[in-house]
Amino acid sequence: MFLTEEGTVHALDDTCTHQDASLAAGWVENCRVECPLHESTFSLRTGEVDQPPAKRGVRVHQVTVQDGEVLVELSTAAPQLPPGVEVR
């Protein structure tokens, strides 16, 4: 889960689609997260790749903030994982 500078909350899969790296350890700016391993960037809104080397986006989950609580509805789409990585 990511909190932007504007105060919006976004949830997406944590694993970069290029290699097995945690996006939670990356840098968030301009509603994008940068993978700490090879600097691919992903839109927090859509999950689409903004900068290679990743070629596939990450799965986005629906977020609702209600009475100060963050509720996440997990996507039913298949995750986009890098080669050799299995669903955890």
pLDDT averaged over 10-residue windows placed end to end, the chain, 88 residues? 89 94 94 95 96 95 93 94 79
12 vs 44: CA distance, rounded Å: 7
pTM for this one? 0.89
CATH assignment, 2-73: 2.102.10.10
- pLDDT tens, residue by residue, 28-50: 999 999 999 999 999 999 999 99
Every domain of the chain and the residues it spans: 2-73
Give the model's pLDDT for residue 2: 92
Phi, psi (rounded to 5 degrees) for 24: -60, -25
